[in-house]
Chain A
Amino acid sequence: MSVSVRIPTILRTYTGGESEVKAEGASLRAVVADLEASYAGISARILDDAGKIRRFVNVYVGDEDVRFADGLDTATPDGAQISIIPAVAGG
């Protein structure tokens, strides 16, 4: 299950400046774990101490905000486009 993950500006220090990276995993939880394996430290920026998606992080699988789907258990089909976006925008 290879997916593509868009990285927001403030996390690009972890990805060597890359704005889009490849990752593996059948669920968002597995994808985040795989990102951590490649880019140590990135998981703790996306997830809080309890392992939940941080209050001010929005994650999309395709066009769907995972909060409307199954959160970290949201399925990430092969070829899925995942976006991690700061939530503090708009209005």
Chain B
Amino acid sequence: MALTPATDLGPATALVCRECGTTRDLGPFYACEECFGPLEIAYDFQGVTRESIASGPRNIWRYRGLLPVPANVADTPNTEPGLTRLVRADNLAESLGLQSLWVKDDSGNPTHSFKDRVVAVALAAARELGFKVLACPSTGNLANAVAAAAARAGIRSAVFVPSDLEAQKIITTAVYGGTFVTVDGNYDDVNRLASEIAGEQDDWAFVNVNVRPYYAEGSKTLGYEIAEQLGWRLPDQIVVPVASGSQLTKIDKAFQELIKLGLVEDRPYRVFGAQAAGCDPVAAAFKAGHDVVRPVKPDTIAKSLAIGNPADGPYVLDVARRTGGAVEDVTDAEVVEGIRLLARTEGIFGETAGGVTVATLRKLIDAGTLDPAAETVIINSGDGLKTLDAVAPVVAPSANIAPSLEAFRAAGLA
């Protein structure tokens, strides 16, 4: 896998180790040769203005000048994710005692989760790097996004998931075709297997393994969109679900880039992480004051967040502490209640990760950790239709009646 003179990764200039600072040329690398630390994309941004962004496509490619993708990325077949709704959530705000709340509803993406963003960037970079197959280990949402993006791009996909995944996420991956493997193990087992396969299959781009530095940058678009949709300013507070931690750290990176580029005012913001109690390694480390994250064996209904050994956990701790935020966790019962609360107050049916985020928001407010007077954004990262089992036992029709006016009246529904 060698770069050719035709390789175009846009404003990306190099890969830099986040741990030790060692720099290397752009290529299909993800771990530092010196210390195994994660490699990050370094950039030289040119000519990105509010106007240049506004004149771009109505999807994430309006920010292509800030991503490791070729200039013509919008012209190649892709799922065109992004520019999802930022919903003003006055009803939810009122029920929680908040003054100003927004929900970034990423269930509106083509395969109904934020994963379409990262996959679109990974696909574009993988093409430039010469890979032939788009692959991933996944807790489900990524599986959907990779299988769909590969189908649209006309290339092979190879997707690996835990065999106990929600039935909805199995079906919504299988429907796109491609190679789709269920593995008898948890996500961390599947992740390990994918890392080993990536070392053997030279032309397979495992989006979140060997092209992870490029892939992860796709989550920056959540941060860019929130700022643009707020009228080019940053919120005071944001609550983000934490699985690997990549989404949270990249939203922070996006905010920092916008400040450096002068596209938003430089003002303080606080970043909060949300986890499920059954998989809370980052929240536990935050509360204990640790800067390392001890892996756990997950046991939660929030399977899309069930990563026991989160790659970016230490960096989530850094961001939360630097910005005056926190990382909190909530029980499965609170997750279910969070899903119902968001649905009943705002008409948004989030998946379990969204329930984690809403429930964490509530817990942070109740604890006085989050300022109820400050403008707050929360992320709903996926669609409740993919995790129906979470709420199936607790929601039901109001009544079952015969098709007659008498029956309607008798049921006391008027």
Residues 194-240 of B contacting A (Cβ, < 8 Å): 194-196, 198-200, 206, 208-209, 212
Q: Is the CB of B36 within 8 A of A86?
A: yes
Stretch of B45-53, B87-95, B306-314, B336-344 at the chain-chain interface: B306-314
**B interface residues, how many (CB within 8 angstroms):** 43
With contacts A55-B314, A58-B192 taken as known, whether A10 is within 8 angstroms of B208 at the C-beta atoms is no
A85 to B246, CA, bound (A): 19
Q: Is the CB of A87 within 8 A of B36?
A: yes
Number of A-B residue pairs having CB atoms within 8 Å of each other in the complex: 97
Q: Is B243 an interface residue (CB 8 A)?
A: yes
> Which chain B residues lie closer than 8 Å to A57 at the CB level?
36
Q: Is the CB of B307 within 8 A of A56?
A: no
Stretch of B27-35, B71-79, B256-264 at the chain-chain interface: B27-35
Q: Which of A6, A48, A83, A91 contacts B307 (CB 8 A)?
A: A91
With contacts A56-B19, A56-B37 taken as known, whether A88 is within 8 angstroms of B295 at the C-beta atoms is no
> Which chain B residues lie closer than 8 Å to A45 at the CB level?
33-36
Q: Is the CB of B30 within 8 A of A89?
A: yes
A83 to B195, CA, bound (A): 10
Q: Is the CB of A90 within 8 A of B137?
A: yes
Q: Is A38 an interface residue (CB 8 A)?
A: no
Interface residues on A, range: 20 to 34
> Which chain B residues lie closer than 8 Å to A63 at the CB level?
189
Q: Is B388 an interface residue (CB 8 A)?
A: no
> Which chain B residues lie closer than 8 Å to A89 at the CB level?
30, 137, 191, 194-195, 206, 208-209, 212, 311
> Which chain A residues lie closer than 8 Å to B191 at the CB level?
89-90
Give per-residue flags for B272-286: 1 if the beta carbon is below 8 A from chain A beta carbons, else 0: 000000000000000
Q: Is the CB of A90 within 8 A of B311?
A: yes
A40 to B332, CA, bound (A): 49
Q: Is B325 an interface residue (CB 8 A)?
A: no
In the assembled complex, the CB of B190 is this many whole angstroms from the nearest CB of chain A, namely 9
> Which chain A residues lie closer than 8 Å to B3 at the CB level?
none
Q: Is the CB of A56 within 8 A of B200?
A: no
Q: Is the CB of A91 within 8 A of B244?
A: yes
Q: Is the CB of A86 within 8 A of B30?
A: yes
A86 to B18, CA, bound (A): 14
Give per-residue flags for A45-78: 1 if the beta carbon is below 8 A from chain B beta carbons, else 0: 1001000001111101001010110000000000
In the assembled complex, the CB of B139 is this many whole angstroms from the nearest CB of chain A, namely 9
A48 to B187, CA, bound (A): 27
